Each structure stands twice: as C-alpha cells, then as structure tokens.
C-alpha cells in the first residue's frame, strides 16, 4: 500500500495526475471494494455533503455508478436532468451551475459533450468538480476503473502490453486510458483505420499500427472501443461491414492471441460490430467486472476530493 499522494479538490483529467496519485486512487478503491463486500456497505464519509450529478449527455454506467457511490458514502444527491431543465430555455451552463451551488452543492459530477466544460466549471465555482466525460477529451474515472481492473486481474500494470482498438480519434476513454496506462508503465498499442488512429498518437508514447492481427498478437489486454458516430462529422471508413471485417474481434482472431489475453470494453457495446457477442459474454471478457469496479473507483474519487486521508483510514492498516 502506498503513502497518501492526493491533495486535489477536483478530478478533471488523467493527463495532469502523477503515477503516485493514480496509484493512491487505485489503492483507495481496493479498500472501498472490500467495504462493499461487508454486510453493511455504507460509510459516513460524505454525510452532510451534497453531490449534484449534472449529466448533459446520455450515460448509463457512469451515471448510475456515481449515484450508487454517493449513496454508499451517505451523501445527499441531486440528479439534474438536462432535458427537463432550464438549459432547454437557453440558460447558460455557468448560470445553471451557479444556481446549483446556491443550493450548497459541494460536488458537481459532470458529463458534457463539450471538451473542457468541467475545467470551465472548476474555474467559476467553489464546488469540487469531477469530470464524468467531456466530449472527445477525457473520461478519467473510466481510465481509473480500467487500470484498477487490469491491476486486479494481472497483478500489475507495468510491463503489460495493452492494445486499444477502434475509434481512438473521438474517444475520451482512449485518451484517459493512454495517459493512465503509460504513466503506470504499460506498453500501449493503438489500432484501427488510419482515419481514426492517426500516427500523431505516437506523441503520447503509444505504438500505432493499422493491422489488427499485429496489434493483438502479443497483447495481455485487448480494450475495444465502439465507433462514436455522434462525434464524427464525416464518414471515416467505407462501411460498418468493412470495419467489422478488418477490426472486429471474432473467434478466429481471438485464437491467435495469447491464451491469457483478457478483453475489455467501456460500453456501450455494439455487438457484432467491434466484438462478437460470444466473446463479449465469455470468461475472457472483463466487461461487467469493469462496471463492478467502477463503483469502488468512484467512491474512492469522491472520498479523496473530499479530503479523505487514503486507504489506511478505511482499513485501519
């Protein structure tokens, strides 16, 4: 277990975190996962604190996992629904957030289609801001839960070969995963059509290849991403069929990987496009384990930005 290395009010991205800060989140999440296995799963860490879940873009996993994490930490919770709000009448994001703060919100958990929206709120509010995904920029808690899942299953991250496949260009998950995994010493390979995986990503310390067999041959972890049609302004490849033929994970391709290579996907999954249904549901798939671990990781993040003193405080070790 590491010494405490966290002194941040916000979690806005992975890029600005140190490896020690990431490890502190993972160690704290491990302690919270153990708490979740007790008969009484609630702790009073956020009692009397108010969290607003400000989701201005759709979400299933991140939204419900944050909400459950907040309940487990005994926080008061406001779920802000953009569709039913005065954002629809033209109120600005800043005014919306300041109104939430006027109700004594201590934390804003925010998802937004605009890159940088949580950073903007962190500048204009007193509340702590946690980024739950901003445009194509970053999705820090997804990267933290991915790193947690890899470390739990493989016992380490340093030295592993992690291949991320698919729509890297528009993926906030890819960016956050690349930052987290390279900081923790993994070798990251990116693969997909050249229009979606430009060579410029090599500047982030990754290998870029456009042949799937080459990309997955030596992988310990294969992390598949969906095609994000909602962020693409033009067609980036000829057809979904062709994409699946060239970059979809099927049984024949899986047979050529290391026997202990594990499959990850942040969801939502487009079955039959980036991954065969049978593989998504197989014993080599960590997809639902990632969701389970997301709860402990989000509890850890909320606890730390609230000034929590680290895993020792939870375990007594």
Binding residues vs ligand CP (CB under 6 A): 59-62, 133, 139, 142, 266-268
Q: How far is the CB of 66 from ligand CP (least distance, A)?
A: 9
For residues 268 and 307, which CB has a smaller minimum distance to ligand CP in the complex?
A: 268
User: Is the distance from CB of 287 to CB of 267 less than 8 angstroms?
Assistant: yes
Alpha-carbon distance values, 144 to 159, 181, 247 (Å): 18, 9, 25
DSSP string for residues in 173-204 = HHHHHHHHHHHTT-EEEEES-TTTS-GGGGGG
For residues 193 and 267, which CB has a smaller minimum distance to ligand CP in the complex?
A: 267
User: Is the distance from CB of 123 to CB of 10 less than 8 angstroms?
Assistant: no
Q: How far is the CB of 65 from ligand CP (least distance, A)?
A: 8
User: Is the distance from CB of 166 to CB of 224 less than 8 angstroms?
Assistant: yes
User: Is the distance from CB of 70 to CB of 141 less than 8 angstroms?
Assistant: no
Joined tokens for residue 75? 């926080």
User: Is the distance from CB of 178 to CB of 204 less than 8 angstroms?
Assistant: yes
For residues 53 and 62, which CB has a smaller minimum distance to ligand CP in the complex?
A: 62
Taking the C-alpha atoms of residue 256 and residue 275, their distance in angstroms, rounded to an integer, is 15
For residues 106 and 146, which CB has a smaller minimum distance to ligand CP in the complex?
A: 146
Q: How far is the CB of 231 from ligand CP (least distance, A)?
A: 13
Count Cα neighbours of 226 within 13 Å in the Cβ-side half-sphere: 13
Joined tokens for residue 250? 């099927």
Q: How far is the CB of 98 from ligand CP (least distance, A)?
A: 26
For residues 238 and 268, which CB has a smaller minimum distance to ligand CP in the complex?
A: 268
Taking the C-alpha atoms of residue 49 and residue 56, their distance in angstroms, rounded to an integer, is 22
Q: How far is the CB of 266 from ligand CP (least distance, A)?
A: 4
Q: How far is the CB of 245 from ligand CP (least distance, A)?
A: 26
For residues 128 and 171, which CB has a smaller minimum distance to ligand CP in the complex?
A: 171
For residues 101 and 179, which CB has a smaller minimum distance to ligand CP in the complex?
A: 179
User: Is the distance from CB of 302 to CB of 70 less than 8 angstroms?
Assistant: yes
Q: How far is the CB of 300 from ligand CP (least distance, A)?
A: 17
């Amino acid at each position: 277990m590491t010494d405490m290395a966290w002194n941040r009010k916000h979690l806005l991205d992975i890029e600005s975190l140190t490896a020690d800060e990431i490890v502190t989140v993972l160690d704290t999440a491990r302690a919270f996962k153990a708490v979740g296995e007790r008969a009484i799963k609630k702790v009073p860490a956020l009692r009397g604190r108010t969290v607003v879940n400000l989701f201005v873009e759709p979400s299933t996993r991140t939204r419900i996992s944050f909400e459950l994490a907040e309940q487990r930490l005994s926080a008061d919770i406001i779920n802000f629904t953009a569709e039913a709000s005065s954002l629809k009448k033209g109120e600005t994001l800043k005014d919306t957030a300041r109104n939430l703060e006027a109700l004594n919100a201590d934390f804003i958990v925010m998802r937004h289609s605009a890159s940088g929206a949580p950073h903007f709120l962190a500048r204009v509010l007193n509340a702590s801001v946690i980024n739950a995904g901003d445009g194509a920029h970053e999705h820090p808690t997804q990267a933290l839960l991915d790193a947690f899942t890899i470390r739990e299953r493989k016992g380490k991250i340093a030295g592993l070969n992690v291949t991320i496949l698919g729509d890297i260009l528009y993926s906030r998950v890819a960016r956050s995963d690349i930052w987290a995994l390279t900081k923790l010493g993994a070798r990251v390979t990116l693969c997909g059509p050249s229009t979606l995986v430009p060579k410029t990503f090599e500047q982030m310390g990754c290998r870029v290849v456009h042949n799937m067999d080459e990309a997955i041959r030596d992988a310990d972890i294969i992390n598949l991403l969906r095609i994000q049609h909602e962020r693409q302004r033009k067609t980036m490849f000829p057809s979904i069929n062709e994409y699946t033929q060239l970059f979809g994970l099927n049984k024949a391709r899986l047979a050529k990987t290391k026997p202990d290579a594990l499959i990850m996907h942040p969801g939502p999954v487009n079955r039959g496009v980036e991954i065969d249904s049978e593989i998504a549901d197989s014993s080599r798939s960590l997809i639902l384990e990632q969701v389970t671990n997301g709860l402990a990781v989000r509890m850890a993040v909320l606890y730390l930005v609230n000034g929590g003193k680290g895993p020792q405080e939870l375990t007594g070790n």
